[in-house]
Structure 1
Amino acid sequence: MVRTPAVMIQGTGSNAGKSMIVAGLARALVRRGLRVAPFKPQNMSNNAAIAVEGGEIGRAQAVQARAARRPPSIHMNPVLLKPETDTGAQVIVQGRRAGTLRARDYTGGRAGLLASVLDSFERLAAANDIVLVEGAGSPAEINLRHGDIANMGFADAADVPVVLAGDIDRGGVIASLVGTHAVLEPVERSRIRGFLINKFRGDPGLFQEGLSAIASKTGWPSLGVIPWLPPAAWLPAEDAVDLERGSGTAKTSLTIAVPVLSRIANFDDLDPLGMEPNVNLVFVRPGEPIPRAAQIVILPGTKSTIGDLAFLRAQGWDIDIKAHVRHGGHVLGLCGGYQLLGRTIADPDGFDGPAGTVDGLGLLDVTTIMSGEKSTTQVQGLHCATGTPVAGYEIHLGRTEGADCQRPVVTIEGRRDGAISADGRVQGTYLHGLFTSDAFRRAWLAQFGADSSLAYESRIEQALDALADHLEAHLDIDAILAIARSRQNATTRSA
């Protein structure tokens, strides 16, 4: 049986750089003339994107699709978990909300999702020359192996060879790779066909003894050492830990403060602002006050509006934000951040947590009612104040209405979206991704006296090309292709 080549990039731990490696490989291989599809069986992230079919997938898979020069599909990430609490998450299956489960319940029910995962994988495999699969977390988490669909469970069911990535920037990379080998079952060890080292700083030649030690103790060949690549830092990320990239910069002109909510979502909305040379984007961590020097406060999206309203108040940020407005500052709320700004948030059926109604910040004359209907769509429209076109996506639960909605932020296909306070200094909108539009961002920043010089889409394309060049220079991509192609004539294994 001839099957589509595929290879799975797994990591020794979370944030080992798997997403960026898959994106770089996708761009490198598509430049070689191959039809490439990225795939992640299971993702856990509140940074989501809207696929061409209208459903949700992880943001990282949307970036990988862009690297492969193709539209994002729901089949590139068939299971997406969006954490709502420390013990529960919303479950998205092939783009659509399937419900909310506690971690304990989900762990026992993962095997039931394998059919959807394999269906999506086979759809991509049938339409492409190669599928690049990204694992989640680490295969060394053997306590989670039963019913696994994210790492070795998927690799075994689909009979996909694996390349294991280690993150040397954290330290202990030899132990993490050799330790992974030690805890895996023999059949799983044999599925790993090579390893690579990611995020190396300094002279890679100094790590030759380390490579030899890993190869000797595992029997896996080295496929290369990837040096640290700064241009890749601003590619849209899926983990909030990556927000560190935007803090502590010494910029001038306009300061924008962003409180980091406990369930912050779709934070890549802010990437274009962080890349602007005349904008100082400051992420305010729990326990820190919102800086008085900020001219604008942006309340980002959140996966748990009511929960993060309580979290915001626990930090004292509600007091800071209201003082900021009293002293002439501006506030912009995006999606869940927009809901926080209203007078009340009602959740009569408990879609966002315990049923009930809570008081919002009261900075906009609007009220929000949560409902089970979820809006997930790509849209285009106009920014009312500047008349510039905007494009983005909607991904939210709830309906917001009130007097301030008579002053919308944008119009989308003839309908109004968002609300503006009577004095114009507090605004909110459900539209994600609006800052990726250079024309809009330029006009919006000009209102605050800041010049824009960023060509965002070009910068992202340059970063993807630089990442592909980087991997071509430092990885044995021909060997990785050979590993992927070894699947073509292999005998199908039972799941």
Structure 2
Amino acid sequence: MVQGTTSDAGKTTIVTALCRLLQRQGVRVVPMKPQNMALNSAVTADGGEIGRAQALQAQAAGLAPHTDMNPVLIKPSSDTGAQIVVHGKVRADMNARDYDQYKTIAMSAVLESYGRLQSQYDSIIVEGAGSPAEVNLRARDIANMGFAEAVDCPVILVADIDRGGVFAHFVGTLACLSESEQNRIIGFVINRFRGDISLLEPGLDWLEQKTGKPVLAVIPYLHGLMLDAEDAIQLKQTQSGKFKVIVPATPRISNHTDFDALRAHPDVDLQFIGPDHPIPAADLIILPGSKNTRDDLAFLKRGGWQTVLERHLRYGGKVIGICGGYQMLGQVIDDPHGVEGQAGESDGFGLLDITTELTQEKRLQQVQGVCAFSDVKDSRVEGYEIHMGLTYASSDTLPAFLMQTEAGIEEEGCRSPDDQILGTYLHGVFDHPQACRALLKWAGLTSEVAVDLNELREQSIDRVADACQGLLDKLQAL
């Protein structure tokens, strides 16, 4: 099990690397994260929902994503409430206190998944969540040491040296653990190191003498990785492409990995616009998915985005709405059952002639088809739907995509009659290189570049795996 001294210490990356390294050796290896709190999620082959990072780790292991890889997924809808997904399906909406009591039941689901994986694979590489030093969460813990103790597995502890204070992170984390938990840690991994390793060695010697535990690896800072983020969003971008794309970073933005292909495109300058940040002019505005669509809609209206969108369209700009962003572009979002909070309805931006009713049943499916608007050869689109809602479009709208289903070809999403606005429920809509090229051409970018996000992801997985070869060698020698 890989645990971290903090969130974003590098747990996901280390698990990904170990899965790829073992897969290269021909080992039947599988990733697992007992409990994940994230709004970036993926649809699995068995029709469930798991954290996006576990889908990445599955790819590293050469596997299709499965719900047993992330048996408990927590999707926050407010600062104190969240949707609880167990074995890929929505189980309930709970506040933090209720979920704390529910964790005993959740642990049963976690151990059930672990048992199934144990019977099918040679090795399980488990990722913790946050930090095991969160002593306020120790009771009924299923994410870190509570799980490790239950299944009796060794733990390696990872810290991010780029944050500073790496030795204090290790020593302080150990001090917060019980004696049995301390004994379970077999060594440390220092992540994101840059500089002269000889200057670090006195600290490594001190740490080993202080704790009696070895430093198993020092992983270098690897620039330019294209790996799916578990949840955190990077607001600062360094691109200088000629085609300007802006995305509002709403409080409950979900699946912002939808834009990874645009971040990697050399002709695109993608910017996430945080709260109270100036909203620049752009060629394309994309409204992202949301875990709480009506609240995020209200947030955008308070931030002046209604005026921004209307002005942008008057000057000939294009707009895309994805999932919750698609719903926001319409006339009304009705939540009669209180799916996302208090029951009621909200007026949308009124830019597409559609209405949406939020439903209690979540739609989860992988889909494929073609772009309905494109003359780009092989404008194939692949993606997945994760939403709770039905959207009804008027007869004046145009389809966005033509999807292949068991019943035949079906229209998906819609475009405005003037073809300036496109809305879709498809996540991953830019991931296929030709679909990305077709959508950007529709939006006004003339470029022959076709970014293959999957190939970039594969290259990044191999890079982190190569950097962690020494770690695996030491683990296998223990």
TM-score, shorter chain, exceeding 0.5:
yes
Q: Which residue of 1 aligns with 2:166?
A: 173
In structure 2, relative to structure 1, the CA distance for the partners of 1:225 and 1:262 (3 Å cut) is same
Q: Specify which structure has the bigger relative contact order, considering alpha-carbon pairs within 8 angstroms and separated by 6 or more residues.
A: 1
Give yes or no for contact 1:404–1:422 (8 Å, CA) kept in 2.
no
1:469 is matched with 466
What is the distance in 1 between the residues matched to 2:121 and 2:296? 42
Q: CA deviation at 1:404?
A: 5.9
SS of 2:91 mapped into structure 1: strand
CA distance in 2 between partners of 1:23 and 1:393 (Å): 22
Aligned AA (1:389): R
Which residue of structure 1 lines up, in the alignment, with residue 433 of structure 2?
438
**1:253 Cα deviation (Å)?**
2.1
Q: Are the aligned partners of 1:405 and 1:420 in contact in 2 as well (CA < 8 Å)? A: no
| 1:240 matched residue in structure 2 | 232
Q: Is the 8 A contact 1:332 1:426 kept in 2?
A: yes
Aligned to 2:224, the other structure's residue is in SS state helix
1:187 aligned to 163, 180, 191, which one?
180
| SS of equivalent to 2:237 | coil
Superposed displacement of residue 389, structure 1: 1.5
Kindly indicate whether residue 320 of structure 2 is the aligned counterpart of residue 337 of structure 1. Answer: no
Helix, strand or coil at the partner of 1:435: coil
Q: Secondary structure at the match of 2:153?
A: coil
Scaled by the length of structure 1, what TM-score is found? 0.93
Q: Does 1:37 align with 2:30?
A: yes
Per-residue deviation, 1:415 = 1.6
What residue identity is the alignment partner of 1:262?
A: P
- What amino acid maps onto 2:2 in structure 1? I
Quote how far apart the aligned CAs of 1:482 are: 4.7
Map of 2:141 onto structure 1: 148
Deviations 1:179-226 (A, max 9, x none): 011111101000101111011121222111111222122211110111
Q: How many angstroms apart in 1 are the aligned matches of 2:232 and 2:131? A: 18
The within-5 A match list for 1:91-130 is 91-130=84-123
Hey, what does 1:63 align to over in structure 2? 56
1:400 alignment partner, one of 391, 398, 403: 391
CA deviation map 1:9-39 (0-9, x unaligned): 0000101010011001111111111111000
Please, which runs of 5 or more residues in structure 2 have no aligned partner? none
Residue number in structure 1 paired with 2:366: 378
Check the 8 A contact 1:289/1:320 in 2, yes or no. no
Aligned pair in 2 of structure 1 residues 432, 250: CA closer, same or farther (>3 Å)? closer
Are 1:9 and 1:133, in contact at CA under 8 Å, matched by a contact in 2?
yes
Q: Quick check: 1:289 aligned with 2:278?
A: yes
Tell me the residue number matched to 2:211.
218
CA contact (8 A) 1:404 1:420 kept: no
Give matches, 1:4-19, under 5 Å.
8-19=1-12
1:408-427 mapped onto 2 (5 Å cutoff): 408-413=399-404, 414-427=409-422
- Contact 1:40/1:78, CA 8 A, preserved across alignment: yes
Task: Give the number of aligned pairs.
Answer: 469
In structure 2, C-alpha distance between the alignment counterparts of 1:152 and 1:481, rounded to whole Å: 22
Identity over the aligned pairs, expressed in percent? 48
What CA deviation, in whole Å up to 9, does each residue of 1:436-463 have, x standing for no partner? 1111112222331331242322211111
Normalised to the residue count of structure 2, the TM-score between the two structures is 0.96
Question: Structure 1: 5+ residue runs without aligned partners?
Answer: 1-7, 484-495
- Does residue 274 of the first structure (1) align with residue 263 of the second (2)? yes
